[in-house]
Amino acid sequence: MPKTVDHDHRRAQIAEAVVHLAARHGLHAVTMRAAAAETGFSLRLVQYYFPTKAALIHGVLDHLRHRSNERWKARTAALPRTPTARAFVDAFLDEALPTDDDSRAFHLVGASYAMLAMTDPDLADAPVASGLHHLEDQLADVLHRGQQDGELPEHLDPACEAARLVALNHGLGTTVLIGHRTAEQARTVQRYHVDALFHPR
């Protein structure tokens, strides 16, 4: 009797292998043949699941987003049932820094994608920008709740502050990746800005 293939698992296996490849050499090094060599599967099998390089890279980005979401769910599960806005923001920003192999791979591949998407129209339509908008919207909702609970001044614009925090976090993450500062130094900068947000002078 033929063995049943779990196609979702097989697709995830390929995407995970390409994550490791891209984290080592950047997305520019990802080709269909390189992906096949990294996975140990045949080129034909890789092409069955991802017919083009653009489809493969989109699949890798989707896989990374799924993995990141799972990490975030585990992180929020450790917070109080109704965390304060400050506790949520601190956890959110800390989780987003590249502090271990998984988060470093996420940042490295994300930065590599951003560079490729600037010049490759086949990659520019990946929903990375919508993912950033979702993060900003989530933070803005939390900051708005913080205003209602008296944690934040009423004059602040939650949407603008959320965009600023996401941009700050991404920039600090990049400096950690290139060795400009340590993760703890990046956390110190984040705390400085969050302190000023929640307790303005």
pTM: 0.80
pLDDT at 1: 45
User: 49-64: per-residue pLDDT in tens?
Assistant: 999 988 998 888 888 8
Domain boundaries, the chain: 7-198
Q: How many CA atoms lie within 13 A of 74 on its CB side?
A: 7
**Mean confidence (pLDDT) of the chain:** 87
Tell me if residue 84 falls in helix, strand or coil.
Answer: coil
pLDDT at 112: 81
Return the percentage of the chain with pLDDT > 70, whole number.
93
pLDDT at 71: 86
User: 61-114: per-residue pLDDT in tens?
Assistant: 888 888 888 888 888 888 888 889 999 999 999 988 999 888 888 888 888 887
pLDDT at 125: 60
Average pLDDT of the segment spanning 8-23:
91
pLDDT at 73: 86
| Tokens 């080592």 found at | 24
- CATH 1.10.357.10 is held by the domain 7-198: yes
Q: State CA 87 to chain mean position distance.
A: 20
pLDDT at 108: 85
User: 150-177: per-residue pLDDT in tens?
Assistant: 999 999 999 999 999 999 999 999 999 9
How many C-beta atoms lie closer than 10 Å to residue 133's C-beta? 13
